[in-house]
Amino acid sequence: MPSAIDNSQCLLEKDEFWMTKALELAQKAAAESEIPVGALVVLNDEIIGQGFNSPIHTCDPTAHAEIQAIRDACKKMNNYRLPGATLYVTLEPCSMCAGAIIHSRVARVVYGATEPKSGVVESQLSFFDSSYLNHRVESLGGVLADQASEQLSNFFQYRREQKKRLKQQARGQSVCDE
């Protein structure tokens, strides 16, 4: 008979597997100059929805990875509710996304990096623990957090360097003059 430790190890391995897929989606966002956040919705070990950050390209401030993945899953399931589903996202959800998670009845959220400025699962709030909510969401943070944080750091470092180059070009300086 498997022990609780065996079961939790198996679950962690599954969580890491799916988070790896979410990190791949985040890379697609980065390739489109969007903040690299990827998300997918899994039900019965199958991806039913996926998305990545795309508010700039879609001109839609609600086009966060979580929202995109939930919309995709709801469309595929032909239902606005996703009971029993797990949402994997590379960055701790914001308040808007946490609201969508509650309304869609996602059962569990697994995220990678914390978001100290606007994350509401643990950083700024413990939103899912709020007593007034009519749905409970299990959450687990820190799954492949180092990879998710590194992906975000690399993206923002590249953007800062790009901005610096553009300023230098505007002033007529060569990047090689440094």
Block mean pLDDT (10 aa), the chain, length 178: 66 95 98 96 98 97 99 99 99 98 98 96 94 95 97 91 84 60
Sheet strands (E) in 16-168: 38-43, 46-52, 86-91, 108-113, 138-140
Element containing residue 25 per DSSP (H, E) = helix 4-31
What is the set of active-site residues?
Answer: 66
How far apart are the C-alpha atoms of 145 and 128, rounded to whole Å? 20
pLDDT of residue 6: 67
How far apart are the C-alpha atoms of 43 and 45, rounded to whole Å? 5
- Residue 90 near residue 148 (C-beta atoms within 8 A): yes
Give burial (CB, 10 Å; 0-12/13-18/19+) of 47.
middle
How far apart are the C-alpha atoms of 17 and 154, rounded to whole Å? 22
pLDDT of residue 29: 97
Helices (H), ranges, 84-176 = 95-104, 145-170
Residue 59 marked in a binding site: no
pLDDT of residue 143: 98
**At the fourth CATH level, which superfamily is domain 4-177?**
Cytidine Deaminase, domain 2 (3.40.140.10)
Residue 135 marked in a binding site: no
pLDDT of residue 97: 98
pTM of the model: 0.87
- Residue 101 near residue 124 (C-beta atoms within 8 A): no
Domain positions in the chain are 4-177
Amino acid, single-letter form, for residue 153:
S
